[in-house]
Amino acid sequence: MKTLLVLFLPGLCCPASPGDDDWTPVPDATRARTLGDLGRVAEVYRHGTRKEWGYKTEQQDTFIVLHPREDRKGAPLYVVLHSAGHDVFSCVLCTPHPGNHDIYRAPDGFYALYLDCRANRGDWWWGGMPANDAELVKRNSGPDPRPVERRVLDTVKWVMRKYEVDPNRVYLCGNSMGGSGTLGIGMRNGDLFAAIKANVPAGIEHASNRLYFPPMTPPEYPKLPDPPVVVDYSAPNDSWSSGHERFVKAANDRQYALYFYWGPFGHANNTGYIRTVNDLVDSFDWLSVKKNEAYAAFTNASCNDPLPWPDRLADKAPGQVNAFFRWKAVLDAEDRFEMDLFLTGTADLKTAFTIPAAATADVSIRRLQKLKVQAGDAFRWTFGSAGGTVKAAETGLLTLPHLELRAQATRLTLSR
């Protein structure tokens, strides 16, 4: 069996966190007042560039921070990338209005960071690549991050430090072009983001290029950090969703944790409307994932629906990949690991979908904290009445094949 490597690519690491001595955003109280009453404190910051980002000329950028409704140290951080039709101000002004780009709205107990990519020409975080735009394809292809991507990461780190947010609960999301940026920036920075969510991403090429998905041929490098848990909902009747069959296959082949939902809701941003087409899109609590806890990645699942991409785009039926699988980490020690695996049940989830009584999947354990695993290491495992030995892949990843999950939790154990 061919082993697929999870790779470390040139320029792929997060840049060093900016220090206050070389890059300090400046508050802009005048612009903050133009936002009006959002029901929570809003701060606007302006800043220049850092040499490390790689911009050819100096530019000015803006970001906005919304406070939790009740300020507290150690709050989570909700990071938003806007669509091509917005800038950072119009994005934030959507948040008081349900139905208007709902993914922009951060929970009350979170800090929220809104970044901008409209102020400077050519500085957009990537949408899909039009086949007839050769210059855009050339400029954005390959594994190396663009300056805007480095700017996003450094801004997130600055906000984390200034507001003392919980470093294990930083989440990235976006709509349309911002969804493309969410996949492309988020998936390769699992050491920063706990989980990411893309609402109708405008293309999967950003992630595909940055992670060397097929048909690209990756060079040989050490592995990347485990990626964040990914939530993606897209529509086959949305032309921007083209290529999702390649994206889903690559995520499955590399044992990434992907929750994927679709239906004929077009390029929609109203979550209430999307739920009328596919009522599973908010069923997985992505904001409960923590970066300092192991998680399970489910692949080759028996209960996945067949994808409508690439040749059944007119299908009206909604569908899902991995929608019913859940986990709960129990023990992560130096010589032993335990995790409960189960299916969400009808008591937990009201849906038009039929929830399976049982389903099988290959289960990979990622983000192990204390149980250190090297390529080739052998472990004993048990799962209910099943058990055996498993060896870590070349990537150091442990995968248990063909486990059967039910609504009642079953304990998975690993020991040396």
Q: What is the DSSP letter of 222?
A: P
- At 6, is the pLDDT very low, low, confident or very high (cuts 50, 70, 90)? very low
pLDDT at 346: 83
pLDDT at 129: 66
Contacts of 75 (CB under 8 A, 6+ apart): 68, 109, 110, 111, 163, 165, 166
Q: List Cα–Cα distances, 250 to 5, 80, 256, in angstroms.
A: 11, 25, 8
Percent of the chain whose predicted confidence (pLDDT) is above 70: 92
Structural fold of domain 324-416: Immunoglobulin-like (2.60.40)
Tens of pLDDT, residue by residue over 19-29, are 445 789 999 99
CATH 3.40.50.1820 fits 26-292, yes or no: yes
Tens of pLDDT, residue by residue over 101-142, are 999 999 999 999 999 999 998 898 987 666 666 777 777 788
Locate the domains of the chain by residue range.
Answer: 26-292, 324-416
pTM above 0.85, yes or no: yes
Location of structure tokens 């009747």: 237
Q: For residues 40 and 38, what is the distance between their CA atoms, to the nearest angstrom?
A: 5
Per-state percent for the chain, helix, strand, coil, to nearest 5: 20, 25, 55
| Long-range own/partner contacts, residues 326-331 (CB < 8 A, 24 or more apart) | 327/295, 327/296, 328/409, 329/293, 329/294, 329/295, 330/411
Residue type, 29: A
> 79-88, 220-229, 282-291: which has the minimum mean pLDDT?
220-229
Tens of pLDDT, residue by residue over 331-386, are 999 999 999 999 998 888 999 999 999 999 999 999 999 999 999 999 999 999 99
Location of structure tokens 């990411």: 196
Percent of the chain whose predicted confidence (pLDDT) is above 90: 82
Q: For residues 393 and 313, what is the distance between their CA atoms, to the nearest angstrom?
A: 36
Give the residue, 139 or 269, on which the prediction is more confident.
Answer: 269
Query: Mean pLDDT, the chain, as a whole number?
Result: 92
pLDDT at 21: 53
pLDDT at 140: 79
The tokens describing 67, both together, are: 């406070």
Q: Are strands 378-383 and 325-332 parallel, antiparallel or unpaired?
A: unpaired
Phi, psi for residue 304 in degrees, rounded to 5: -70, 145
